Chain A
Amino acid sequence: MTSVLIFIEADETGAASQASLQAITGASKVSPSNVIAVTAGSVSGSDSLPVDKVIDLPGVETSDDGIFDSLTSDISELIQSNSPDLVLFSKSDQGAVVSARVAFRLGAAFAADCTDITGSAGAISVTRPVYGGSALADFSIASTPAIVSLRAGAFEPSASEGGTPATEQASSSGEGLRGASVLNAVAESREGVRLEDAPVVVSGGRGLGGPEPFAVLEDLANSLEGAVGASRAACDAGWIDHSHQVGLTGKSVSPDVYIAVGISGASQHMAGCSSSRAIVAINKDGDSNIFKEARFGVVGDWEKVLPAFIEQVKALKG
């Protein structure tokens, strides 16, 4: 039996995020005896999450929290007072930082960005992709608590309701501030559908050779009500803004169709799109790795293939 503490984050609507619900599914893999969900700031619907108990930490204004300084302190204290065998985070912006800081502060065993978890208290096993996804590594953790962060998409999300958890209000110590302070946030302008939500993503890579072809990809994306993505190489070259980057260090997407144009398919890129329903590759190098990951492909020069493809797509869309 394993007692589990899960850090639950809110999504844009204020409800528990998909990644947090995936973590609840993750907890079900380790014969849980007692599952505590910790929310920071109110998460709507948390009183019916399928867990045993919800502990609500008061929301802390980001500007006063440094980069999650007080959250790190508060969660560390909750772990010490509740002594869970396993602590689960989703590897979000917040979860990635807080999980690592908490683990080092408590001197606890830590495994980040895991895609699977099994075992039980004192004998937890996790799997994580390494070398940019070229390899997998299995680790065992004998000590408690084990602190684990989960990669987005590692598990199906659990139901968001149906539970009758006990609820408890915790107080924030407001301690642990180190002096970093967020002055404000600047949102990148975005037209059309959000990359992570798009049913179709059209991505370009090094093989496009410059910034201009991204206008062609955008035309295709628009006619499919999709969004434009890019490989890190294309972003680093300045051809398109980094907010379009798909991959290990960019965004993770799982559209119905992921169309990769001039992308070689390095494992670091595939880490951000491999859960797509179908990957379609257009690349002139038939030996490139993308064809090992794709369901459909055309070996050819994108400058010749793509215009005809787009014309046909538009005709079909009529």
Chain B
Amino acid sequence: MRIAVLAKQVPDPETPPSQFKIDESTNSVVPPSGVPPVVNGFDLNAVEAALLLKDAGIDVEISVLSVGTDFALDALKKTLAMGADRLVLVDEAGLDRIDAAATVKVLTALLEKDGPFDLVLGGRQASDWDQAHVVLGVAESLGIPLVTLVQKLEVDGESLNIQRVIPDGYQEVTCPTPAVLTVTNELGEARYPNLRGIMQASRKQPDTYSLADLELTESDLESKVKLERLYIPESNKQVELIDGEDEADAGRNLALRLREEKLI
């Protein structure tokens, strides 16, 4: 079974808010110094979902596909160190600024060129633009089944047994392959690479495709949704800190203050 995991390199979402800065002249985030980019956390959940199939004894080959500009290879190689087999990149200038619709075009072309794949997995959303729709768009472009918010995945012959998260529980879903799935963090934490995995990953090189290889040109990637302004919202909230003789006394005073405001 050939599995493609769609992965995105993002600024580390654990970057402290004090270090989060925007260059308003270019409408882009200033990379914080000393905080390297990471693979989007939900995409690592998707890698984990693929590795769990391998653990269950299914014969799988896991390819991690990504589109961008000047990749931090160390970050992306984490997926190989976890146990993925291949890294497949489209790395060209300007691809870090294309929108979701254009990203779908590139990924669809890449999946067709490097495919066929039996299963396409992606994270439920990316922690930078929080859009959650590139993977859905890929399913539409390929015209194959889509199941979102997968928290459990099993392969049963030609079909997939899936648990899909809904607001108050989950659905049990069955789905034929090939299919596109988005994976959510309810699946469980992505495994940490072990030393052997890290050593093996360090020796692997990614397979690369250019836009020309995919028969795409820049005019295919024009955006219908134009970013006009990126900015940090102003906060005018002022906290009222409650004190006391000691911490317990502060706790009591907090309750009294909330009652005074008729909040409890």
A interface residues with partner B (beta carbon < 8 Å): 66-67, 69, 93, 96-97, 100-101, 103-105, 108-113, 125, 128-132, 134-143, 178-188, 190, 200, 224, 232, 235-236, 242-243, 248-249, 251, 256-257, 266-268, 277-278, 280-282, 289, 291-301, 304-313, 316-317
Contact A100 B255 (CB under 8 A): no
A residues within 8 A CB of B143?
A: 178
B residues within 8 A CB of A249?
A: 42, 124-125, 184-185
Of B22, B172, B185, the contact of A182 (CB 8 Å cutoff): B172
**How many A-B Cβ pairs are below 8 Å?**
255
User: What's the least CB distance linking A109 to chain B, in Å?
Assistant: 4
Contact B240 A296 (CB under 8 A): yes
Q: Does B1 sit within 8 A of A, measured CB to CB? A: no
The complex places the Cα of A248 from the Cα of B132 at a distance, in Å, of 11
Contact B173 A180 (CB under 8 A): yes
Closest A residue to B175 by beta carbon equals A180
The complex places the Cα of A132 from the Cα of B11 at a distance, in Å, of 11
Of B29, B132, B174, the contact of A181 (CB 8 Å cutoff): B174
Chain A facing B: main interface SS: mixed
Counting contact residues on chain B (CB < 8 A from A), the size range is 35 or more
Contact B248 A308 (CB under 8 A): yes
User: What's the least CB distance linking A312 to chain B, in Å?
Assistant: 4
Contact B250 A135 (CB under 8 A): no
Residues B106-131 near A (CB distance < 8 A) = 124-125, 127-131
Of B20, B174, B186, B255, the contact of A309 (CB 8 Å cutoff): B255
The 10 closest A-B pairs by CB, nearest first: A309-B251, A312-B255, A308-B251, A109-B224, A308-B248, A304-B247, A300-B247, A100-B133, A104-B140, A178-B145
Contact A313 B264 (CB under 8 A): yes
Contact A257 B263 (CB under 8 A): yes
User: What's the least CB distance linking B248 to chain A, in Å?
Assistant: 4
Q: Does B232 sit within 8 A of A, measured CB to CB? A: yes
A residues within 8 A CB of B57?
A: none
B residues within 8 A CB of A183?
A: 171-174
The complex places the Cα of A112 from the Cα of B225 at a distance, in Å, of 11
Q: Does B56 sit within 8 A of A, measured CB to CB? A: no
B interface residues with partner A (beta carbon < 8 Å): 11, 13, 17, 20, 22, 27, 29, 42, 100-101, 104, 124-125, 127-133, 136-137, 139-141, 143-149, 164-176, 179, 184-186, 189, 224-233, 235, 237, 239-242, 246-252, 254-259, 261, 263-264
A residues within 8 A CB of B247?
A: 298, 300-301, 304-305, 308
Interface CB pairs A-B, < 8 A, 23 = A103-B137, A112-B131, A131-B127, A135-B230, A137-B27, A137-B230, A140-B226, A143-B224, A178-B143, A180-B146, A185-B171, A190-B168, A242-B185, A251-B167, A268-B127, A278-B263, A292-B239, A293-B235, A295-B240, A305-B250, A305-B251, A305-B254, A307-B248
Of A180, A278, A291, A304, the contact of B174 (CB 8 Å cutoff): A180
Contact A179 B176 (CB under 8 A): yes
The complex places the Cα of A312 from the Cα of B226 at a distance, in Å, of 53
The complex places the Cα of A306 from the Cα of B20 at a distance, in Å, of 32
User: What's the least CB distance linking A276 to chain B, in Å?
Assistant: 10
Of A100, A128, A140, A185, the contact of B166 (CB 8 Å cutoff): A185
Contact A139 B227 (CB under 8 A): yes
A residues within 8 A CB of B148?
A: 67, 96-97
